[in-house]
Amino acid sequence: MLTLVAYDISDHKRLANIAKVCENYGVRVQYSVFECYLDEAEFSEFWQKLVEIIDDNEDRLVAYKIDARSARETLTAGTMVCSERVICYLV
């Protein structure tokens, strides 16, 4: 399933660690936004790694799971980098 992960991390060290984990699971589409194509087991592992890094009182982490129908209806304009793990729909 396609998952959009976004974060707002207040500490530079935690920010770097979060980005490193996200780069191992998906493709950066904005500075703090990644597209990840993961099955449930992969997503659970990924999410647990992220949750272990953040500070619940200072940071925010969000994941939006996007089903195949919604992914097909996603519109994109401008520059974009795709990888073989991410399904990209261009208009």
What tens-digit pLDDT sequence spans the chain (91 residues)? 899 999 999 999 999 999 999 999 999 999 999 999 999 999 999 999 999 999 999 999 999 998 877 777 776 677 655 554 545 544 4
The answer to the question of residue 32 being in a domain is yes
Residue 69 makes CB contacts below 8 A (sequence gap 6+) with none
Count how many domains the chain has: 1
The answer to the question of residue 55 being in a domain is yes
The answer to the question of residue 10 being in a domain is yes
The answer to the question of residue 86 being in a domain is no
The answer to the question of residue 25 being in a domain is yes
The answer to the question of residue 61 being in a domain is yes
Q: Which of 8, 22, 1 is nearest to 66 (CA)?
A: 1
Domain hosting residue 64, numbered range: 2-72
Note the pLDDT of residue 62. 96
The answer to the question of residue 54 being in a domain is yes
Note the pLDDT of residue 81. 54
